[in-house]
Amino acid sequence: MAIALFDLFKPTVKNAGGGGGIKSEIILIMESDIDWDTFPDRDAENTITTDIPLKTGKFMHSFYMTQGTIKPSQKKLKGSNQDCGGYEIGVEGFYPGIEKAVQKWIANFGIDFKGLVIIQNCASAKRYLIGEPCNLVHLETIETTWGEEIDKDKGHKFGFLCKQGSPMAFYEGALVMDPNAAGG
């Protein structure tokens, strides 16, 4: 299906190109928790407007990262010829401290996490989806720093990454969070 080239005009929102101050929430969805048989397609606007279907009793999960350290990225991957290529999409950020909870998370999911990531941007009220069926997000990096001085970071830099055929999507479906989860 060929899509006709269309104009891309200057954005009309104030400070559309302004960076910094990204206040976002990171939401993870495990591959095994998704009902892939009913996963929705993107619409013509590259948006998923219906809920990501989860298996019974499964939920999406918050993943805290310090505000101001959250850094989403998207770049075009050049293929070996003009008929191939894709996108490398990721998000990295810093989790403060070296405590039992984060070490337990790393022990359980640091090697094996595969799924989808939603970046919910507070300022724009938009949600961006990283990952797609057959091209899942994985945990690319975990770097721990010890805070050897009072003004040095102590904690973990996490980097989630996906190589996929489409750019990141907008997600307008519901966030299905565990109502019994203890908030931080």
Q: What CA–CA distance (Å, rounded) separates 162 from 97?
A: 26
| Out of 20-34, 44-58, 99-113, 138-152, least confident range | 20-34
The per-residue pLDDT of the chain, averaged, comes to 88
- In sequence order, what DSSP letters do the residues of 54-100 get, joined into one string? B-TT--BEEE---TT--EEEEEEEE-SSTT-EEEEEEEEEEEE---H
Q: Please determine, for residue 13, whether its predicted confidence score (pLDDT) is greater than 70.
A: no
- Token pair recorded at residue 29: 């969805």
State pLDDT tens for residues 65-89.
988 899 999 999 988 888 888 999 9
Q: What are the residue ranges spanned by the domains of the chain?
A: 24-171
State pLDDT tens for residues 117-171.
999 987 777 899 999 999 999 999 999 999 888 888 899 999 999 999 999 999 9
Residue 41's pLDDT band (cuts 50, 70, 90): very high
